[in-house]
Structures are given as structure tokens and as C-alpha cells.
Amino acid sequence: MIRALIGAAAFILAAAGVTRIGAQSQGAGVSGGLAVRGDAANDVCDQGPNNAVPKMAAAAGFTHCALNADFTQVGGFFGKVSNFLDGCGGTGNRLFQAYYAYSGAQVPCNKMTIEQDSGSQVLHLSYSPGDSSSVGTTRPLELAYPTLKHNGAVQSGWPQPASPGTENLPQKMYTEITFRMPKYSLDTVQLGQNIPFAWWQMDGTAADHTPQKVEIDYIEINSDSNYGSGWNNGTSMIEWGCGNNCATPTSPPITHVDYTQYHKFGILVTSDEHTNFAKCLFMDDVLQGCQTISPHTAIAYHTDRSKFLNYVVVWAGNNGPEVNNPVDIYIKSISVWECNSYLTTTCPGSTYYSSAGLTYWH
């Protein structure tokens, strides 16, 4: 059965233009990594300028552009903070918010600016030691999307939309971010034990307070964690709310690269909502590896959009011991691709593909 499904998915990949290339030297990529670019025609985005559908997103069924926050476009909507950041001038649907994580304290607007860096216009997120002292503990700057129409905030336990799909995302998606960080921001706090940069999915508390969930992390760069020769991005998936019965994920994809230079990271998250979550990491359009987790309980798939709400967040600064250097993050773009019905469904897949290190539900 699986052999037949793989054959069918291989046809999907071929139709989408995914091509096989030789082994990559970057990161901890899968031997004989997959190159997945060669985008399809532009799609009209719900937010931001039109954007070409990435081949890997198309192969998995994510052909609708939910967000294209292109901060590099001079004169574009995302080229001015007051256009898109709630509390800093931005008004309207599906805007970004910035709070110190797990608190009600909004990040000052001067900590998020549009600047020039390396010859490009970018969004600059800045966290300095002591910035979050007003909340009583060390919390990172959290930039979250999408926000809520009624001025609620993207935090567990805070006000949430009254109806499914109003302003939240399914767990299943293909999303990309292009960013860099200075070396002093990467070499901060306890070596290998702290995370000055994270990019992941955050969920709102369920309406009935059901605790079961799967945390899906995209990137977690550990401070100077490669013995002086780079930094380790160790990203995983974790099941919560199941005591000693929580599922154990397979090994996470890992990258070691010079994060002081701009790189594009893509994450594909898929599931049939019965078998497992499959997550694949791409760096500069090359597959770095995939990971799966099979939740202990079906509740963890969060299929009820009226109860379970999902957001994409960037963290600048450590969630714990205070950093000893400023954390500066320069972001060129953030994009999100979903299935066409993502406003009212959770975008489940039905056909399983697993070959050459690439694993996903189409």
C-alpha cells in the first residue's frame, strides 16, 4: 500500500517540477538533497504582493498564498511598520502584533523598524538586556501573525476569535523566512543552552481547556553551540498534556550554517490528522531533513477551528536567563502558504509520500 502511495506522490513531485540533485555540502542536509525551487505562476496573496507558489508547497497541496510579508519592497505595504504592526499604527485584519512573550506588555514600536542592511530593506527586530524587566521575568520579543480583529493578543489564555477561521492558521502549512543575525547576537548567554532566535507555531488555549497539543518548532538557534565553528539549529516537535504517555518524535533536522549571512528557511508541516505530523526543513531550497510525531491522542491534531487557534511567531531574545548581548534580527520576508480552504478547514492530507528523506502528506 505504502509503495503504491509513494509512486503516486512521486508523480505529484514530477508534475510539480521537483528535481533530484547531488549531495549538498550545506548544513546537515540529507545525502542527495532535494532541490525544490523553480516556482509556479504567481498567486494573489491575502496579505502582501503576489508571490510565486514554491514547488514543494504545491506538491503538498499548499497553493494559496495567505501571507507575503516582503519587507524588501521600497514603498510596499510591508515597507512601513505603521502599516502592519498593531499598536504602532497598523489597523485592520490579520496584522502583526509584538508582545513580550507570555505577558500583556506590548513591545515598544522603536524595537521594530524598517532599515537598510546588506544592500536591502529589511525588518529589524531588536531585544536588549533588560528590555522585558517590566513583566517580572525575562521574556523574548514575540512577533506574531495573524492577530485578532477585536484587539485581543496572540497569547495562551487571552481573548480569541469568536468563530473558526477568522484570524488564525491551521497547523498544516508551508512557510518561509529569510533572515540573518550578527555574531554578537548568536554568541550570547550560556553556550548551547539558550535560544536567541526562534521561529515556531504558537497555539491559543482551547475553549474547553483541553491540554493535549503538539508544539511544532521551525527554527531554534542555540547560542554558540557548535564548539566555536558555528551555531546549531535544533528544531523538534513535542507533544504536551499527556503525562508519561507523550509520543516520541523521530530525530529532528539540524542545520549548522553561518547565520550571520542571509539564508532562506522553509518548513513544510502536513498531517492526515490520524497517523502523524510530518515536518520537513529546507534551507535555501535544499531539503535538510524531515521529522514525524504520532500524537498519543487524536485531540492533539486540533481539528476543531472554533476551539484550537494557531499562529506563527518569531522570538528575539531568550525565554529564560537574560541575554548578555543585544539580539538583533534582520528579516527580509516571511510568507505562509495554505490550502485553498484554509479559512474554514485544517488542510489535512490523505496521500503519504516518504522517499529519499522527504516525508509529507499530500
Q: What is the pLDDT of residue 6?
A: 36
Q: What is the pLDDT of residue 352?
A: 97
- Domain coverage including residue 45: 2-361
Q: For the segment 179-230, what is each residue's pLDDT rounded down to a tens digit?
A: 999 999 988 866 656 789 999 998 765 444 567 889 999 999 987 665 556 6
CB atoms within 10 A of CB 91: 10
* pLDDT lower than 70: segments of the chain: 1-41, 93, 148-167, 189-193, 204-210, 224-230
Q: How far apart are CA 85 and CA 296, in angstroms?
A: 38
Q: How far apart are CA 308 and CA 208, in angstroms?
A: 10
Q: What is the pLDDT of residue 32?
A: 38
Q: How far apart are CA 307 and CA 322, in angstroms?
A: 34
Residue located via cell numbers 555540502: 25
H or E element at residue 233:
strand 231-234
Amino acid at 156: S
Q: What is the 3-state secondary structure (H, E, C) of 243-256?
A: HHHCCCCCCCCEEE
pTM of the model: 0.86
- Cis peptide leading into 146, omega within 30 of 0? yes
Q: For the segment 327-353, what is each residue's pLDDT rounded down to a tens digit?
A: 999 999 999 999 999 988 999 999 999
Instruction: List, as one string, the DSSP characters of 43-112.
Output: E--SSSS-EEPPHHHHHHT--EEEEEEETTSTTSGGGSHHHHBBTTTB-SSS-BEEEETTSS-BPPGGGE
41: domain CATH number? 2.60.120
| Domain count along the chain | 1
Instruction: List, as one string, the DSSP characters of 112-134.
Output: EEEEEETTEEEEEEEE-TTTTGG
Q: What is the pLDDT of residue 201?
A: 92
3-state secondary structure of 180: strand
Q: What is the pLDDT of residue 158?
A: 40
Taking Cα atoms as reference points, which of 199, 177, 167 lies closest to residue 69?
177
Q: What is the pLDDT of residue 164?
A: 45
Q: What is the 3-state secondary structure (H, E, C) of 342-361?
A: CCCCCCCCCCEEEECCEEEE
Q: How far apart are CA 282 and CA 176, in angstroms?
A: 9
- Residue 38 DSSP one-character state: -
Tabulate helix, strand, coil % of the chain (nearest 5): 10, 35, 50
Q: What is the pLDDT of residue 193?
A: 64
Q: How far apart are CA 101 and CA 80, in angstroms?
A: 23
H or E element at residue 185:
helix 183-186
